Each structure stands twice: as structure tokens, then as C-alpha cells.
A and B are shown apart, each in its own frame.
Chain A
Amino acid sequence: MIRSDNGFFGEFGGRFVPEILLPALTELEDLFFGLRDDPAFWQEYLTLTQEFSGRPTPLTPLRRISKQLGGAQIWLKREDLNHSGAHKINNVLGQGLLVQRMGKKRVIAETGAGQHGLATAIMAARLGLDATIYMGAEDIERQYSNVFWMRQLGSKVVGVTTGAQTLKEALDEALRDWAASVENTHYVLGTACGPAPFPELVSYFQSVISDEIKVQSMKQMGSLPDEVVACVGGGSNAMGAFAAFLEDPEVTLVGIEAGGLSLKDGEHSIRLSQNTGETGIAQGYKTLFLQNNDGQLGDTHSIAAGLDYVGVSPILAHLSQQGRVVPDSATDTEVTEAFSLLMKTEGIIPALESAHALAGGFKRAQQMTPEQNLVINLSGRGDKDIFTVARAFPQAEWAGFLQREAERSSEIMQQKGVL
């Protein structure tokens, strides 16, 4: 069970926000603290995730890859099989229960890869709420299919054009909206970051992942796994995969960050390793941020929009400092290789974010023995990445198809007078 010390985890966390946001955060915290130990509330949440998102998600053995790599038995926790295609829906469904209790009629969210935005759009449609999703203009280009579906679902998607136009700027813009709308709007923060109580609250809902892994591994492996590996952007899927194992020291917990193109400034999103992130206070909380000596938050890069973020969950920053979570990273190239290997050997299409956990996990499994078990959290599926993956594995046929599709599309636009 994750419990902050007045919003802090060691030196990280807290609530460093403009005064105007404080009442909403306190209201949310009071509500959350009143519910989180109530078994009936947890059951209500579990029932919702079962009925709407198909939980529990399976734990799939990767028999062929395990044999090929010759190390530990590798298992995938299949968060990709959630409705909406990623673990993000867990947190959103949970926050939906809170929104209903608060009686607010509008929700806002930030999104990077678009999976959290999509999950929020789905929840808003289901509950009849107005939704506005903030997304960096750069990310809109990278993950347009999610933008398309968010709009079809009835959400307003606002492209953010300040700064590097990615997740960091989307989060800033969502905070600005909230400062004006806080009395009737709930901010559905999508990751285990931001001001208290969000890191704790998001981890609470996502912990359903590791609760299930625990039960499933006892049943399927006959023991707890030796290692659990997850990718780390903001940190919500990692906190979800780790939470139930924090008190089991025999289970090694590994977080894989985006190694990007290189370790040069602006070419990666590694915050937990030595000489990368440094303690800072921004976006409402204290954590390890990529920043310069003047305290300006830095630029990041990852092939995966969902990992392209300057900060990291204060809970993970703390656990990493304590040595409980082992930080590692995977480069863009290693990620596309792991992506391809999983697809071709096991018939599963992973999200590029989750493929970081695959790359890191496969490497570690090779150093282990066949009697050991390693679980990789497959946080999402790769359908959304079709354009990015098509660029990584170029095919003339695809380019030709896009050209013809663009022509068909503009013909229809002209016929309907949309242009």
C-alpha cells in the first residue's frame, strides 16, 4: 500500500501549485482518503473494470521467445487487452467514479501518446461529461489516429503550440484551463505525477495490475516472479506493475526509460539514472526533472510519445533513490528490434512505449536462468503506432497506399464541400 507523508515520498512529491488550484486538490484528496480503504469502493472499481474493460487481463507466457533467448521464462501482463488498448483506462475509470461523486460535469486531461486522452474521451462519453483534451501539436502529428477517435467520441482536442509541443506543454495548458474552470471541472491527470494527491491516487487505481500479477503468478508459476519490468514515462504503468510487490524484497522491480537517440541533452528521456534528472519543482510537484543549470525544464526525445516527458513520478524517484526500483533504459533502435521480435515470434503487436519494457526485459532475461520468471508489463497495444512503425520499417507499398488514400479523402471532402 502506497502512503505519502503529507503528500511527500522521501524528498519528492508535494503540492507546489498556484493558490487557485488548492481547493480542488484538497477536495479531491479528502474524497480519495475517505474512499481508498473502503473495500466496497474497491469492489465497485473492480466490477467496473471487469464489466467495461475486460479485467483481469491475462498473464501470457512467451514460450518461443523465452526458449530463443535461453534465459528466464518471460511472461507478459496484457494491459494491451484493456478497452482502449492500454492501462490508461484503469486510472480513468477510477477517476470517473470520483467525478460522479463530486458531481462535476466537465473533465480535462493532458495526453502524450493519446492513450490517456482516448481513455478520458471514452469515460466522458460513457458518463455524459464534456471533455477537453490537451495534446502537444507535435504529438498530434505522431499519434493522429488517437486524435481522430477522441474527436469522434465527442471530445474537444486542443493542440498545444508552446515550447516543444509535447506532453510537458500539454500538462501546463491543462493546469491553465483548470485554474479558470476548477469549480465545475475535474482534471483527470493521466500519470503518477503532478501535485498531491495525484501520484498516490493514480498509483492506487493502477495497482490493480500488480494485484492481478501476484495472484496469476502464484497460480501459473507457483511462486512470485523474480523480476517485474515496466517502461517509465510519467510512471503510471510502472507504479501499477510494482505497487503490490513493494513489500516483497525477493521481487526485483525494473523501470525502463526512453534512451532515445543518445545520452546527449534533448535526445533522450532518462531521468532516474545518474547524471540525468536532477531535483526540481515544477508542474506542481518535486521530482527528478531533466533541466539546465538555470532550472529551465529540458527538451526530451523518444520514439514513443508516451515516454517523451521531462519529469517522473515522485514515488518512482523515491523508490529509485532507495534502491527498491532499478532504473535502466532502452534506445530507439533497441525498441524497434524488440517490437519486431515480439510481433514475429509471439504474434502480439506492442505499443512503442511498452516495447521499451520488452527491450529492457529481454536483455535482463538473457542473464537469468530458465528456472526464473520475469514479468514484463505490456502497457499498451501498437495499433496507434502504425504511422511511426511504418517509418521505422519503410515499404514502398505503404507510401503508395497513403498517397491514394489522401486523394480519396480530398475527393470526398470536395464532394461534401468540407474544404
Chain B
Amino acid sequence: MFPAQYENLQIMSHAVIGFPSLEENEKAIAGLADAGVNLIELQVPFSDPVADGHTLVNACYEALKHGGSVQATLDLAERVCARHPEVTFVLMSYLNPLFRYGLERLFEKAAAVGIKGMIIPDWPVEEIEPWLPKLDELGLSPILMVTPNTAPERVARITSASRGMIYVVSRMGVTGHETNWGEKFQNYIGEIRKHTNLPLAVGFGVRTTDDLNALSGKAEVAAFCSQYIEWQRDEGSDVAASKMKSIVQNIVAS
């Protein structure tokens, strides 16, 4: 399940469905589970991922050539949710593939195969609110994003529509670049906490053990995604999993 408020930092990592291949996804997810990663995003590849940096853009492009799709994601989710009950799986997608599939049908399927949450960067809170009764009934948590330039009254609206966790975008920009975790970031986290008791998942720029140490005690979840996908791309899923294992052990020890 999602962590409780103020629980020790844990890692959320990532799979782009179809990257590098559908078969490799299952092996990579098993590797992440074995490494002790308890939260995994399953990203539906999209042709136009506007919130992602080049690592994930290119991974999406490759994934689409290797059979990645909404249906492939649901099929894979069904298998990995059953095989790794200790892991909480979150569906990550841009809106259009889900919209084309049919939102209601998608939500029902996702919940039925065991997906617990959803991150949809281009689905604004106004559009999500009417779906909340349905999502609550299904036990499917919309994890909404707050960004450094979100106005306080909007933070309130987003946090009250969010379930499970709040996704805190650490800085301006897209995924895959460095972030500075100084005082400004801490104030930002503090402001969000005023509006919610949900745990905070921090993403964008979490790339090293130093980043994780900086986040320890400040957030409940660190989204360690682009860097992991780069390892997977350059060194294969096995090496990527063993690197994740040492990262996870490192934060457990600290």
C-alpha cells in the first residue's frame, strides 16, 4: 500500500511498457521487486509525452515500436500485480491513450487487475473531481501533481482531490535533470504539508544517493525513474536492478 505520513523514505521506480521490450519489462520489474522497491510506476508509452525529458521521451518512442500500449500495460499489470503482492503498482499515463480506451472502462480494468493508483500529468484537477466517487468506489487513487509555482488555493484543491499520495514536482521543467534540495525546496514541502496529511512523493531530479539522503526525513517517497531507465537502457535490466538494490540498502541503512 501507500506509505503512512512521516514513514521512512522509500523508493518509487519505473517501467515504460514495451521498453526495451514487453518480455524484458517483466524481468526488470521482478528485479526491482527483488531489490526492495515497493512502489513501481507502469508508464503507458505515448507519442507526445510533454512533461518528460529526453530519457523518457526516447524510451516511449522505443516502447511504441515494441508493442507498448494501454492493453499491453493492463495485461502486464495483471501478471506483475499477482506475482509481486508486496509491491504497489501505479499506472502512469498521459491522458489520450486512456481517453481513447474509455476512461470508465480503463478505471474498472485497472482496479480489477490490482493497480492501486494513477499518475496522469495532463489531467487537471477540474476534470478529475467529477470522477472521484467512481475512483473511490474502485479503490483507485488519483495521485495529483503539485508544482513549485502552484498557487496556495490551488494546492488546497489538488491535495483534497488527491488520494494515496501527493506527487510533488521538485522544480520547474521536465523529468531527467538535476534538482537543488536547499532551503527553498524545504519551504515548498512545508507549505504543501499545511494542506494535507497524505504522504509526499517527490519526483523530477532524484538521480543519486545524495539526492535520496537529502530527501530522507522530508518526504515519504522518492521517485527514482529517469536515472533507472538510463541504467536499464545502457547496461541492461540486471545491472539496473543491482544498482537499485544498493541504492535501496543505502537508504534503509541510513
Contacts and interface: CB of A to CB of B under 8 A. Distances in A.
Interface in B55-112: 57-58, 61, 64, 69-71, 94-101
13 contacts: A18-B50, A19-B158, A22-B124, A163-B61, A168-B48, A175-B50, A179-B51, A179-B173, A180-B173, A278-B100, A283-B48, A295-B46, A297-B96
Contacts of A331: none
A195 to B, nearest CB: 9
Contacts of A163: 47-48, 61
Interface in A13-29: 15-20, 22-23
A301 B82 CA distance: 44
B125 to A, nearest CB: 8
A162 B169 contact: no
B69 A294 contact: yes
B139 interface: no
B150 A22 contact: yes
B51 A16 contact: no
Interface of B: 46-54, 57-58, 61, 64, 69-71, 94-101, 121-124, 127, 144-151, 154, 158, 169, 172-174
B96 A280 contact: yes
Contacts of B154: 22
A216 interface: no
Interface residues of A, number: 33
Q: Which 7 A-B pairs have the closest CB atoms?
A: A295-B100, A180-B173, A295-B97, A20-B147, A295-B96, A18-B51, A296-B47
A158 B151 CA distance: 32
B171 to A, nearest CB: 8
Secondary structure class of chain A's binding surface, majority of residues: mixed
A108 to B, nearest CB: 13
A296 B97 contact: yes
Contacts of B50: 17-18, 172, 175-176, 179, 283-284
A293 B95 CA distance: 14
A179 B124 contact: no
Contacts of A284: 50, 122
A308 B51 CA distance: 23
A394 B121 CA distance: 48
A18 B122 contact: yes
Interface of A: 15-20, 22-23, 162-163, 168-169, 172, 175-176, 179-183, 278, 280-284, 289, 291, 293-297
Contact of B48 (A15, A17, A278, A282): A282
Which one of A15, A281, A284, A294 has the highest number of Cβ atoms from chain B below 10 Å of its Cβ? A294
Given A163-B47, A179-B51, A15 B70 contact: no
A294 B60 CA distance: 14
Contacts of A20: 51, 147-149, 169, 172-173
Contact of A295 (B49, B57, B98, B146): B98
Given A179-B51, A296-B46, A297-B48, 17 more contacts: A16-B124, A16-B127, A18-B50, A19-B145, A19-B158, A20-B147, A20-B148, A22-B150, A162-B57, A163-B61, A172-B49, A176-B50, A179-B172, A180-B174, A283-B50, A289-B96, A297-B96
Contact of A291 (B64, B100, B151, B174): B100
A182 B53 contact: no
A278 B52 CA distance: 25
B46 to A, nearest CB: 7
A182 B147 CA distance: 12
A280 B169 contact: no
Nearest to B52: A176
Contacts of B150: 19, 22-23
Which one of B47, B53, B70, B158 has the highest number of Cβ atoms from chain A below 10 Å of its Cβ? B47
Given A281-B96, A281-B99, A284-B122, A19 B169 contact: yes
Contacts of B123: 16
B142 to A, nearest CB: 13
B145 to A, nearest CB: 5
B176 to A, nearest CB: 10
B99 A280 contact: yes
